[in-house]
């Protein structure tokens, strides 16, 4: 697959890059394998200075990096700036806290003096998506470089300039050669790396199909993997929700990042007593979104990431409506230039409709009425996915009780989604397994080694 920058707002091809050759890939792996020996031996204090400098450089180059993300995948420029800032905060967080998180721990045991030590795995292979081209990289690189691992990075083919820019930030910060290597890989080359015994762990953020393929190949090789896959998050509106706030959050949750967020709100489950008022306000707010060039500060909804992404979601809408779904708003391509889709709201999506169990990765909201709280929970859990979700209520304790019954890796109260360096990120069911961020994410690719001095009785 070619690595090409195509501006999705205009269709203009910006740059193209050839894939690395098989020999270049094997040379990069050999360099990484050798670099691990010296990088892992460095004290935390040295690694911390370098990763902290990465954070500083990201902030220094914020405008340049933000513009590049907007040009390559269509993110609104204000959101691109926010992503760079979040990426910097992740790098700085792990620079500050990794040593404490990975400090040896003692614990009581009747068998003797027990101690747990943490040590890095070695070379990791990471495969990342286009929708958050810096955040995805930072949430992998920050913790796992700080733990002493080294990595080969395959970014999405649509954001090669962002991939190179992040790689350059790390080099400028002083990350040694071989510790972090961006590679323009084919799928076959990525598979060959998984098979290579020098690669010790695999992390993917991507589609279910990619997850099935890579997880099975990692399993065949008995290698640790983490998978952050699709999501179709429930947005549950209870009968005591603050409607104005809830609708504002519905717009943020569904149309943020042009609707292309794994943990974006996608299934709006509204108790019947609130449904009419919610729909009236939600439709009006969605209509008010301004489509256009995402570099324009006044634009509130940009394009999808590519024409292919647009065509896929148009096919999903057509299939959904052919099976009985009703279009309340939008449903069509907007204009003839660029990958723009009208803000779209669908209802009457029944369980026998394919759309009921699909992820819509774009500005499409699905509406599901629920008789009461119990039915809302049942609808939320009737999904193959289990990434995130949110609950809207004036009673926070009630919201927590409902959240405890939602079968996902994350649930948010009165807000659609949050990602922060100190919060674990990850899902269940077909949304994948493993955690990123926080101390839990940091521990995914380290050996937790028990060292025991038994008592005489043991």
Instruction: Kindly give, in sequence order, each residue whose CB lies less than 8 Å from that of residue 140, ignoring residues fewer than 6 positions away.
Output: 126, 128, 151, 153, 203, 436
Continuous H helices in 221-360: 243-255, 272-287, 307-322
**Distance in angstroms (rounded) separating the CA atoms of residues 386 and 365:** 17
Please compute, for residue 205, the number of CA atoms within 13 A of its CA located in the half-sphere on the CB side: 26
**Distance in angstroms (rounded) separating the CA atoms of residues 330 and 344:** 4
Sheet holding 112-120, edge to edge: 105-107, 112-120, 446-454
Question: Which one of 262, 359, 373, 444 is the catalytic residue?
Answer: 262
C-beta of residue 203 within 8 angstroms of C-beta of residue 226 = yes
Question: Which one of 83, 228, 436, 444 is the catalytic residue?
Answer: 228
Please compute, for residue 125, the number of CA atoms within 13 A of its CA located in the half-sphere on the CB side: 30
C-beta of residue 426 within 8 angstroms of C-beta of residue 385 = no
Known active-site residue 228: yes
- The answer to whether the Cα torsion of 422, 428, 431, 433 is positive or negative is positive
C-beta of residue 262 within 8 angstroms of C-beta of residue 131 = yes
C-beta of residue 362 within 8 angstroms of C-beta of residue 259 = yes
Tokens at residue 72, please?
């390559």
**Distance in angstroms (rounded) separating the CA atoms of residues 346 and 367:** 6
Known active-site residue 162: no
Active site residues: 228, 262
């Amino acid at each position: 697959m070619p690595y090409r920058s195509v501006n999705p707002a205009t269709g203009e091809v910006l740059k193209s890059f050839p894939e690395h050759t098989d020999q270049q890939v094997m040379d990069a792996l050999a360099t990484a394998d050798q670099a691990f020996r010296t990088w892992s031996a460095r004290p935390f204090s040295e690694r911390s200075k370098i990763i902290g400098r990465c954070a500083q450089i990201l902030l220094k180059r914020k405008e340049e990096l933000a513009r590049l993300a907007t040009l390559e995948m269509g993110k609104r420029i204000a959101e691109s700036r926010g992503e760079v800032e979040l990426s910097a905060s992740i790098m700085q967080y792990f620079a500050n806290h990794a040593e404490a998180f990975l400090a040896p721990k003692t614990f009581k045991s009747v068998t003797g003096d027990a101690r747990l030590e943490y040590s890095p795995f070695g070379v990791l292979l990471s495969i990342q998506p286009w929708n958050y081209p810096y955040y995805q990289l930072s949430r992998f690189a920050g913790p796992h470089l700080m733990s002493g691992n080294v990595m080969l990075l395959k970014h999405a083919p649509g954001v090669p300039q962002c991939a190179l820019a992040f790689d350059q930030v790390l080099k400028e910060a002083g990350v040694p050669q071989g510790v972090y290597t961006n590679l323009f890989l084919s799928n076959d080359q990525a598979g060959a790396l998984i098979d290579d015994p020098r690669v010790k762990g695999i992390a993917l953020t991507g589609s279910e199909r990619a997850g099935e393929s890579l997880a099975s190949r990692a399993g065949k090789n008995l290698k640790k993997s983490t998978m952050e896959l699709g999501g179709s998050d429930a947005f549950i509106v209870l009968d005591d929700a603050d409607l104005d706030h809830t609708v504002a959050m519905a717009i943020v949750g569904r149309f943020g990042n042009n609707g292309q967020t794994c943990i974006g709100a996608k299934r709006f489950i509204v108790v019947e007593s609130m449904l009419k008022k919610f729909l009236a306000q939600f439709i009006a707010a969605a209509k008010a979104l301004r489509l256009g060039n995402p570099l324009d500060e006044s634009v509130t909804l940009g394009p999808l990431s590519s024409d292919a992404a647009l065509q896929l979601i148009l096919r999903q809408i057509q299939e959904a409506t052919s099976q009985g779904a009703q279009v309340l708003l939008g449903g069509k391509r907007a204009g003839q230039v660029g990958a723009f889709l009208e803000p779209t709201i669908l209802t009457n999506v029944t369980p026998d409709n394919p759309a009921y169990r699909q992820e819509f990765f774009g500005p499409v909201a699905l509406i599901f009425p629920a008789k009461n709280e119990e039915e809302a929970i049942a609808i939320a859990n009737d999904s193959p996915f289990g990434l995130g979700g949110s609950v809207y209520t004036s009673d926070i304790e009630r919201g927590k009780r409902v959240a405890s019954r939602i079968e996902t890796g994350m649930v948010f109260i009165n807000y659609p989604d949050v990602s922060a360096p100190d919060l674990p990120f990850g899902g269940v069911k077909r949304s994948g397994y493993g955690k990123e961020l926080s101390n839990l994410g940091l521990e995914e690719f380290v050996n937790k080694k028990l060292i025991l001095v038994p008592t005489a009785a043991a």
